[in-house]
């Protein structure tokens, strides 16, 4: 068999395998939404607190924390942990604490070596929180709808879930970077929500996650990997993957919008932090993810090679078929997740994200970054 024909066969095989992984291993079941209901929740619902960990977030806490304090949930309390800020974060929090009776601020001045990074701030919040359930989010986040806590907690009422995974899309802006961020956020959400539905959760976003307080307290230290500061959310999920009752909530009224990175250097740093934790996922999760992204990278590499063979038109046909099939799958999945996204340019974003990921693997992160 000539080499060029062998390359073509491998290319076709990888293209089929990649599509099958996305379609069969990461299917997303349509979730039945709640009926429209008043924004005020019944008084017998479990007690709930919102926990925000902030570092040098003065402008964000001033803008976003008041929105959390006015959410309609019975006896809702908001806890903001100021973790070693050197700006005016604590000053702004003091002002807000005088304005909102349900806001408690905690000034966390030192790190706990046993709980590196953001985990120290979470632990400081746990010492104060008495509620049965905790909603985790960040200081630069805002709920898309005021019914966010009600609808997340309704999943608990219906299923007895210990953890409810939500979606946190980034705010839209102009420019290529934001388009890449939007696609990556969708693709990541598609994977982790599908994995959780299939009973093999491997990650979450700490910007929108509901967790039973006792579950968080018992497993926070179990999520620690020596030398790794970040990963307070996905490594926690890996620690309790086989013991907790996971559910997902994709209703757009439970989306929490996050401010995106606005320059490539910050985005590279963010991706480097993510890469530093993914290496410690469970072996089964790593195998599936390596297979997914490995077939994607191999697909583009082999496609380039086939362009210099007599089978270029067959390669173009296969690539086009993959494009149309995945466009349909992605369009369907984004509707299931209730995300507004143009998926037509996804091959461009795949190439850029592959290059970003490659750079992230070989670039370091600051030791004290969350």
Dump pLDDT digits (tens) for 91-145: 999 999 999 999 999 999 888 888 888 999 999 999 999 999 999 999 999 999 9
Asked if residue 132 and residue 23 are part of one domain, the reply reads no
- In this structure, what token pair is assigned to residue 89? 């974060």
- pLDDT score of 29: 74
Report DSSP state, residue 112.
B
Is it the case that residue 227 has pLDDT exceeding 90? no
Asked if residue 53 and residue 14 are part of one domain, the reply reads no
Does some domain include residue 107?
A: yes
Q: What percent of the chain has pLDDT over 90?
A: 71
Asked if residue 217 and residue 85 are part of one domain, the reply reads yes
Asked if residue 342 and residue 248 are part of one domain, the reply reads no
Asked if residue 61 and residue 206 are part of one domain, the reply reads yes
Asked if residue 159 and residue 84 are part of one domain, the reply reads yes
What total number of domains does the chain contain? Answer: 2
- pLDDT band (50, 70, 90) for residue 370: low
In this structure, the strands spanning 256-258 and 133-138 are: unpaired
The domain boundary, picked from 266, 298, 318, lies at: 266
Question: In the predicted model, what is the mean pLDDT of residues 329-351?
Answer: 93
Q: Which residues of 318-344 are buried (b: 16+ CB within 10 A; e: fewer)?
A: bbeebeeebeebbeebbebbbbebebe
- pLDDT score of 270: 85
Does some domain include residue 354?
A: yes
Asked if residue 171 and residue 301 are part of one domain, the reply reads no
- pLDDT band (50, 70, 90) for residue 366: low
Is it the case that residue 61 has pLDDT exceeding 90? yes
Please say whether the dihedral angle defined by the alpha carbons of residues 172, 154, 54 and 365, taken in this order, is positive or negative. Answer: negative
Does some domain include residue 196?
A: no
- pLDDT score of 38: 45
Does some domain include residue 63?
A: yes
For residue 362, count other CB atoms closer than 10 A to its CB.
Answer: 8
Asked if residue 310 and residue 236 are part of one domain, the reply reads no
- pLDDT score of 273: 78
Is it the case that residue 277 has pLDDT exceeding 90? no
- pLDDT band (50, 70, 90) for residue 45: confident
The mean predicted confidence, pLDDT, of the chain is 90
Asked if residue 165 and residue 258 are part of one domain, the reply reads yes
Asked if residue 165 and residue 84 are part of one domain, the reply reads yes
- pLDDT score of 114: 86
CA–CA separation, 186 vs 340, rounded Å?
Answer: 9
Does some domain include residue 189?
A: no
Residue 235 near residue 146, CB atoms below 8 Å: no
Is it the case that residue 176 has pLDDT exceeding 80? yes
The domain boundary, picked from 266, 292, 315, lies at: 266
CA–CA separation, 34 vs 43, rounded Å?
Answer: 18
Question: In the predicted model, what is the mean pLDDT of residues 260-289?
Answer: 87
For residue 35, count other CB atoms closer than 10 A to its CB.
Answer: 5
Does some domain include residue 41?
A: no
Does some domain include residue 190?
A: no
- pLDDT score of 39: 46
Question: In the predicted model, what is the mean pLDDT of residues 330-339?
Answer: 94
Asked if residue 144 and residue 68 are part of one domain, the reply reads yes
CA–CA separation, 133 vs 136, rounded Å?
Answer: 10
Q: Look up the CATH number of the domain holding residue 65.
A: 3.90.550.10
- pLDDT band (50, 70, 90) for residue 231: confident
Residue 71 near residue 256, CB atoms below 8 Å: no
Residue 150 near residue 72, CB atoms below 8 Å: yes
* Cross-strand bridge partners of residue 256: 143
Is it the case that residue 77 has pLDDT exceeding 60? yes
Rg (CA), the chain: 22
CA angle at 272 for the pair 267 and 278, rounded to the nearest 5°: 125
Asked if residue 252 and residue 159 are part of one domain, the reply reads yes
**What range defines the domain where residue 322 resides?**
3-28+283-362
Does some domain include residue 159?
A: yes
Q: What is the DSSP string of 146-194?
A: TTHHHHHHHHHHHH--SEEE---PBPP-SSHHHHHHHHHHHHHHHHHHH
Is it the case that residue 333 has pLDDT exceeding 80? yes
- pLDDT score of 170: 96
């Amino acid at each position: 068999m000539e080499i060029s024909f062998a390359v073509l066969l491998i290319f076709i095989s990888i293209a089929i395998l990649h599509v099958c992984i996305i379609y069969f291993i990461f299917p997303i079941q349509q979730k039945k939404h709640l009926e429209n209901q008043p924004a005020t929740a019944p008084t017998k619902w479990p007690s709930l607190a919102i926990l925000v960990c902030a570092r040098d977030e003065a402008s964000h806490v001033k803008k976003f924390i008041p929105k959390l304090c006015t959410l309609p949930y019975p006896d809702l309390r908001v806890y903001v942990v100021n973790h070693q800020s050197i700006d005016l974060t604590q000053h702004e929090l003091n002002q807000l604490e005088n304005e909102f009776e349900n806001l408690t601020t905690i000034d966390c001045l030192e790190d706990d070596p046993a709980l590196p990074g953001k985990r120290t701030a979470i632990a400081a919040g746990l010492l104060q929180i008495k509620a049965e359930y905790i909603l985790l989010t960040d200081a630069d986040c805002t709920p898309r709808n005021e019914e966010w806590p009600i609808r997340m907690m309704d999943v608990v009422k219906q299923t007895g879930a210990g953890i409810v995974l939500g979606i946190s899309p980034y705010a839209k802006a102009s420019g290529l970077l934001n388009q890449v961020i939007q696609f990556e956020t969708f693709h990541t959400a598609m994977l982790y929500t599908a994995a959780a539905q299939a009973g093999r959760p491997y990650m979450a976003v700490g910007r929108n996650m509901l967790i039973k307080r006792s579950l968080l307290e018992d497993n926070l230290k179990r999520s620690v990997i020596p030398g790794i500061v970040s990963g307070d959310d996905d490594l926690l999920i890996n620690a309790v993957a086989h013991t907790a009752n996971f559910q997902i909530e994709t209703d757009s009224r439970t989306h929490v919008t996050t401010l995106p990175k606005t320059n490539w250097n910050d985005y590279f740093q963010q991706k480097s932090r993510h890469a530093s934790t993914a290496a410690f996922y469970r072996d089964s999760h790593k195998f599936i993810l390596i297979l997914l992204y490995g077939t994607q990278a191999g697909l583009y590499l082999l496609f380039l090679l086939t362009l210099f063979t007599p089978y270029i038109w067959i390669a173009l046909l296969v690539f086009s078929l993959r494009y149309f099939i995945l466009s349909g799958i992605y369009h369907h999945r984004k509707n299931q997740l209730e995300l507004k996204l143009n998926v037509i340019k996804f091959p461009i974003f795949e190439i850029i994200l592959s290059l970003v990921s490659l750079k992230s693997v070989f670039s370091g992160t600051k030791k004290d970054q969350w």
